Structure 1
Amino acid sequence: MPTEKTHQKVVASFIELLTTHRIEEITYTAIADHAGVKIDVVRACCNGKLELLAAFMREIDQKVLRERDPDLMEETPRDRLFDVLMCRLDLLGPHKESIRNLYKTVAKDPALALHLHKQVARSMKWMLVAAGIEEFGLRSVGMSNALAVGFKRVVHVWLNDDAPGHPKVMVAVDDMLADGEKWMGRACRVEKVAAPILEGLGRLCRRPNRSGSTSASDGTGGDAEVRP
């Protein structure tokens, strides 16, 4: 099995090739040559290019989590998430052209767009964790997916904002989080209204059979054979 260092080298080579090529143009032979390894090593590192992309995104997730400022928890949830997302964009900065080329293909490939959304949603879950916002179940899924959609819009702004400090990006992130707060408020109100209804349905489904009928195994059921 390849070492962690070799795996990272293969992932880095793939991302570097994305700088000048679209994802569909990158061959596994090119990845192997760029990484200075044999092609069987590339196979041992991944099942395909999308898996290399997922590995890259995990690396960014881990870097954000490592660089999280402990004092961040003293801020409001919105401010914490703002700082986390800006940190993520800063870490993506050296790979801007790679991401630009990736998004060119995403715009024309619905299957890749769907796959990328799933990966981004997974990363957004960890960005929420980095901001000290942890949910479970449907709420976690909803928040992660909503943040993934919003972050995609932010990335489009980021790709075209080369100004120092990225003022347009900061406005885009702030607007996205403001919209998110509004939607979460509405979702919470719906959840409060729906909770008693769902609880009642749950009790109804768990209610025991009170018809008084018994099973055939009791010897008294309607299906029991009657002999003269």
Structure 2
Amino acid sequence: MAETDAILDAWVHVITRDGWPQARIDAVARAAACNVDAVAAVAPDRWEALRGLDGRIERMALAEAASDPDESVRNRLFALLMGRFDAMQEHRDLAQQLHAAARSDPALALFVMTLVPPMLRRLGEAAGVDAGGLLGPLRIAALSALYVQVARVWLQDDSADLSTTMKALDSALARAESLANFRPSLPKGLPAIPGSSAGQLPE
């Protein structure tokens, strides 16, 4: 695990130093003071390095924000997502560089976006979000849109305690909860829509 972390950190260093297009495995091997084959066993290219780093950040978020079963889904989701943003703090320079590079690199933008829904499905389920059934994918899609919106705020948040990010996340979750709880009134005599309350965030 220590070697894996060291190699992922070396990838972060090289990408941040040399730029996304120029990051190469030989430079990572030099930065990590190991052989190229050792780097390849962990992350043979920059794409796999991002995937590995994303997984490490996710595990840190889950470890730092242990879910309290007595808390509401919204509060548990808030804790888990803020735990992820906290874990991402040390890689802010990398995130800002990738955000800038993705504007002219559609492959990078697409790759990063493919990482978001599976990650949020796992964090959402850890918080108690029902990601199964017909409505599950819609919930994860909505959560993904919410996360991307707040991530943009985080990229610009210079506050020491991430208070701006916390406020944006709290507001976004409040809006999502409001939409989930909204049920339009039906004309008298019509049956209730099956599962129409399934999107509700339980307390």
Return the TM-score normalized by structure 2.
Answer: 0.81
Unmatched runs of 5 consecutive residues or more in structure 2: 186-191, 196-203
Number of residue pairs aligned between Structure 1 and Structure 2: 189
Tell me, yes or no, if structure 1 residue 164 matches structure 2 residue 169. no
From 75, 78, 86, the equivalent of 1:90 is 86
- Give the counterpart of 1:69 among 54, 57, 66: 66
Query: How far apart are residue 73 of structure 1 and its match?
Result: 2.4
**Which letter does structure 2 place at the counterpart of 1:63?**
M
Match of 1:131 among 109, 127, 132: 127
* Contact 1:117/1:148 (8 A) holds in 2: no
Q: How does 1:1-228 map to 2 (within 5 A)?
A: 4-70=1-67, 72-185=68-181, 193=193
Distance 1:110 1:187 in 2: 38
CA distance in 1, matches of 2:7, 2:88: 18
Q: Displacement of 1:26 after TM fit?
A: 0.9
Q: Shift of residue 55 of structure 1?
A: 0.9
The 3-state SS of whatever aligns with 1:73 is: coil
CA distance in 2, matches of 1:5, 1:73: 32
Q: Distance in 2 between matches of 1:113 and 1:137?
A: 29
Partner of residue 202, structure 1? none
CA contact (8 A) 2:65 2:79 kept: no
- Is residue 15–residue 23 contact of structure 2 (8 Å, CA) maintained in 1? yes
Q: Which residue of 2 aligns with 1:223?
A: none
The whole-number CA distance in structure 1 between the counterparts of 2:26 and 2:133 is 41
**Residue aligned with 2:21, SS:** helix
Counterpart secondary structure, 2:76: helix
Cα deviation for residue 194 of structure 1 reads 7.2
Task: Give the unaligned 5+ runs of structure 1.
Answer: 196-228
Structure 2 residue aligned with 1:198: none
For 2:65, give the aligned amino acid: R
Give the 3 Å change call, closer, same or farther, for CA 100–177 of structure 1 in structure 2.
same
Q: CA deviation at 1:81?
A: 0.9
1:183 is displaced (CA, Å) by: 4.2
The alpha carbon displacement at 1:19 in A equals 3.1
Is the Cα–Cα contact under 8 Å of residues 10 and 32 in structure 2 kept in the other structure?
Answer: yes
Specify whether residues 90 and 140 from structure 1 end up closer, same or farther in structure 2 by C-alpha distance, changes over 3 A only. same
User: C-alpha separation between the residues in 1 aligned to 2:165 and 2:125?
Assistant: 22
Q: Secondary structure at the match of 1:37?
A: coil
Structure number having the greater helix percentage: 1
C-alpha distance 193-54 of structure 1, shift in aligned 2 (>3 A) = same
Post-superposition CA distance 1:60-89 (Å, at most 9, x none):
11122222335x322221122112111111
What is the identity percentage for the equivalent residue pairs of Structure 1 and Structure 2? 26
Give the whole-Å Cα distance in 1 for the aligned partners of 2:134 and 2:126.
19
